[in-house]
Structure 1
Amino acid sequence: MADTGVQTKPVEPEEEKKLSNKELKELKKKEKAAKRAAQKEKNGITVEQQRQLADEKKKQSQSATSNTASNLKKQLNQALIKTDKKVPHLFGHLETREQRNASSPAISHIVHPAIIALTLKYSSYTIVGSSARLVNMLRVFQQVIVDYKTPENTALTRHLTGHLSHQIEFLKSGRPLSVSMGNAIRWLKQEISHVSIDASESQAKELLFQKIDDFLREKVELSDQLIVQSAAKHVTNGTTILTYGHSQVLEDLFKFCAVEQGKKFTLVIVDSRPLFEGKTLLRQLSRTKCVSDSGEEVPITQKYISVHYVLLNALSSSLLDDVDCVFLGAHAMLSNGRLFSRVGTAMIAMMSHTRNIPVLTCCESIKFSDKVQLDSVTSNELADPDDLINTENSRRPPQKKTFALEQFLKQARAENSKEKKESADEKEESPLQNWKSLPTLNILNIMYDLTPPEYINKVITELGALPPSSVPVILREYKST
């Protein structure tokens, strides 16, 4: 081989053991720590005291990070448990009530007592309805803001939004937020961020308190009044109206037409299990008084409104033949014109459409969502399936049986008791009492369904009566205000 002239240097044993970058960083850290420890020892701080101080700092940092919104969400996700409830695979992505309740203890120590009470009312269906839930939530947020105290070395505009996030996470453990509640929360957080840094804490609280009052008055109270005045034009003397469940704006509409305008009409209230919200509408109408011709106070259901109450599974074509108009409430209106409302609404809208009965939906702009949904499976709320089996108190359907049904049941019991006699006082057991032990039976209790826009003639809002295709226009108007 030819000599290249390059001289190779013999490798020394020290250079074979070169440290990596990671090892060099660790070595530097140890050197710095040793220097700090030596300096502290010179100042009279022992090694044990240094360890105690380090442990205290770690605990403080852990408690500080554990209270952040992102960390709380991680804790809530870890707290979710697998339940024994049998949910079909099609709806397996939806959260059950047990999974929501399992997450509540993780943040209950930093939640306002009023929020805890409101969450219990939501989960027990004491407060039902999108508008009612929105109003109660904002009223409780006013209490939270009044009792809030800004920590030292922090600003109200930065810390209050995080504090409200903890309250909202707890509210979700009772029931998922409605579209109107989500819109109101985004508005409130935006208003908090616009509060001036120079404003004192008391001034900021008063300002936010007043803004919530103005929001409720404009977006709920005044909006409902405008919707009622617009929808009342479609109600005439002698007309027959069909409605489903209970909606606050529809309740106000029927009262306005009867008491204020003196119109006499027939109202068909369609109801369904398990909440029986139609009973609430019937109860509120029967409690509203008016002056009769003789000067006595009587319910409006006696003088102006003739009410027919029917269950959804008993709604026949003969009832629909006499109906002139259908009024429906709304949980939300999606940007593709679809109505997201209590389950059973879509069926009534389709049955009315096949008989050329106009379907009108009364909905405030606060309930409009820019989401697009093509079915009621992607996003929905799963309630407890036992609610469909165990009906108690006001949610219990009428128990009176017809004479023919009683005779049939007596004959069936007589035939079955030939071999085994049963006492007459023994209570009947529901055939679905032990449904969980049946591997092939799944009971699904979904809360909402989706109505296509072709089955809805008009959407009546505070901005006027518009077709469902104009929902994006209302959304742009709402965002601009």
Structure 2
Amino acid sequence: MSEKPNQQNPKKGEPWKPKEKFDKKANKEKQKQEQEQGEGKQETNQPPQQQNKQPIQQQTVDQQPTQQQVPTNDKQVAQTNASKEQNKRKDFLSHLPIFEDYTSVSIKTVKQIDPLTLHHAFIELCIQYQNGQCIGSTHRCVEFLNALKQFIRDYKLSRQSNYFAMAFLDELKKIFNLMKNFRTVNEGMSTSYLFIRECLMILRDTRLDENESKVWLCNQIDQFIQSKIISASELIVKNATQLIQEGTTILVYARSYLIENFIINYFKQGKQLTIFVVDNPQFGEGSQLVNRLQQQGIPCYQILLSHVSYILSKVDKILVGASSMLCNGALVSRVGTALLACLASTHKIPFLVFCESYKFSEKSQIDSLSWNEIAQLEQGNENQQYTSLSLRYDITQSNYINMIVTEVGLIPATSVKAVIGEFKKYNYVDAIEVPRKEQ
């Protein structure tokens, strides 16, 4: 009488746990019976054998999976834990973009690109971004503006109308979003984009035809390059020449457009400096600067970033370039700059930043992971659960920066926000000369 309720309980559907326990015990008994059958042992009681014939036959068919699952449960748990750790790493850096390598053919497969309207100048520029031929924030911004000028000259309205500004403003937005697929847009390019957009908004209220609008817009781009890049670099070199005395021992990290021009101009004046060029072997920009200085006949010493601490006792000043200066006074530059800033603070060496004002940003961040760019990402083998990660930029806090050398003068890091406010009043460059409506 006691067995009938036990047989009726599974039919009621509620007791799942007893059913799981019963299955586990049954599986253990089945495994024992299979082992005994393999050794040639047979039990004398036939009724239990008849009851277990069908389960045993099913088990022999599925014998290999069950034998693998039982001993590999611990491994599966370890693999799931490892996969969770990998997912955490991916989630930890999932907001950072990873860029693919494109060719002139495959570049047209990007979703944001229309192959019929994509200009050849931007195809070449995007390939240069991928191949590393166009590096440095200044170089990338100048090439972007030059490609944009070529596109403006070749651009034609789809319909016969005088609304060139509105039509080209839509094309400008598409181009700017296109560049984000190949490299992270730096602050110099963002400032130039805002300036051109402001010019198009002014051009919208005029009566210029298509050709006159193209000429005026290209002239404004030339003015931006001349005012914010070329003339600004000349003033920065002049201010730095007055700041650094002859015979000073300077330490330079990687290759910066401004610092390179400053060193070459300094030696052309007949003055001498002792130069240590620090190189990061991951990118090799320091070797490029050394080759450039040797072509000019300028002696220098090259050292790796890992050996910097051995020569800091001989260094008087540390000079670095900048990708951008943030609103809170933090410096965004190539990875390794923050390490030099910490060492300079420890050894009480002046840490100077060379930066044009058009690279000043209204953004504010305190770490290097909220915004960055992955230079290289390699996954380990199946047996090796690791990820090789290389970032391109890092953040240097304002308290490590002694001075910023700009075209407006020598300013502290806390004055970045004030400079941004002044330039916004003048449309980022100067008061834009509005074309006459009679034209």
User: Could you tell me the TM-score, scaled by structure 2's length?
Assistant: 0.73
Q: Please, which moves more after superposition, 141-150 or 377-386?
A: 377-386
Q: Measure the CA separation in 2 of the matches of 1:188 and 1:436.
A: 48
Q: Does 1:236 align with 2:229?
A: no
SS in structure 2 of the partner of residue 198 of structure 1: coil
- The superposition leaves residues 393-447 of structure 1 with CA deviations (integer Å, 9 ceiling, x where unpaired) of xxxxxxxxxxxxxxxxxxxxxxxxxxxxxxxxxxxxxxxxx83434521111111
Q: What is the one-letter code of the residue matched to 2:157?
A: T
Q: Is the 8 A contact 2:236 2:354 kept in 1?
A: yes
How far does the alpha carbon of each residue in 1:109-166 deviate from its partner, in whole angstroms, 9 at most, with x for none?
1211110110010111111000100000000100000000122155111110111222
Q: For residues 192 and 331 of structure 2, what CA distance do their matches in structure 1 show? A: 20
Deviation, 1:318, is: 2.7
CA distance in 1, matches of 2:396, 2:206: 46
Question: Do structure 1's residue 251 and structure 2's residue 251 form an aligned pair?
Answer: no
- Deviation above 3 Å: which 4+ runs of structure 1? 84-89, 98-103, 436-439
Which of 303, 313, 321 is the aligned partner of 1:321? 313
**1:284-295 alignment, distance < 5 Å:** 284-288=292-296
Distance change (3 Å), C-alpha of 1:103 and 1:467: farther
Give the equivalent residue in structure 1 for 2:278.
270
Task: Tell whether the 8 Å contact from 1:157 to 1:197 is kept in structure 2 after alignment.
Answer: no
Distance 2:324 2:341 in 1: 16
Q: Which residue identity is paired with 1:342?
A: R
Deviations 1:29-81 (A, max 9, x none): xxxxxxxxxxxxxxxxxxxxxxxxxxxxxxxxxxxxxxxxxxxxxxxxxxxxx
Deviation at 1:86, TM superposition (A): 10
Cα separation, partners in 2 of 1:200 and 1:136, compared to 1, 3 Å: same
Higher RCO (C-alpha under 8 Å, 6+ residues apart): 1
Q: Indicate which of 310, 327, 335 corresponds to 2:327.
A: 335
The whole-number CA distance in structure 2 between the counterparts of 1:185 and 1:354 is 40
Q: What's the CA shift for 1:178?
A: 0.5
Instruction: Please give the alpha-carbon distance, in whole angstroms, between the structure 2 residues aligned to 1:279 and 1:86.
Output: 36
Query: Does the 8 Å contact 2:352/2:403 carry over to 1?
Result: yes
> Contact 1:122/1:174 (CA < 8 Å) preserved in 2?
yes
Deviation at 1:93, TM superposition (A): 1.5
Q: Does 1:145 align with 2:137?
A: no
Superposition RMSD on alpha carbons, in Å?
2.1
Gap runs ≥5 in structure 1: 1-83, 289-298, 387-433
Amino acid at match of 1:446: L
Amino acid at match of 1:178: N
Match of residue 204, structure 1, among 213, 236, 259:
213
Gap runs ≥5 in structure 2 = 1-85, 427-439
Task: Quote the offset at 1:168 in angstroms.
Answer: 2.1
SS in 2 for 1:437: coil
Q: Indicate the structure (1 or 2) with the bigger Cα radius of gyration.
A: 2
d(CA) in 1 for partners of 2:87, 2:131: 19
Indicate the residue corresponding to 2:230 in structure 1.
221
Q: CA deviation at 1:91?
A: 1.4
Counterpart among 406, 413, 421 of residue 468 in structure 1: 413
Separation in structure 1 between the aligned mates of residue 322 and residue 177 of structure 2, nearest angstrom: 25
State the distance in 1 between where 2:310 and 2:96 align: 38
8 A Cα contact 1:245 1:277, kept in partner: yes
Question: 1: CA distance between counterparts of 2:122 and 2:88?
Answer: 30
Number of equivalent positions: 334
Residue 350 and residue 462 in structure 1: after superposition, are their counterparts in 2 closer, same or farther (change >3 A)?
A: same
Please say if 1:167 is aligned against 2:175.
yes
TM (norm. structure 1) is 0.66
Shift in Å, 1:280: 1.5
Compared CA separation, residues 223 and 85, structure 1 to 2 (3 A): farther
Report if the CA contact (8 A) 1:112-1:167 is conserved.
Answer: no
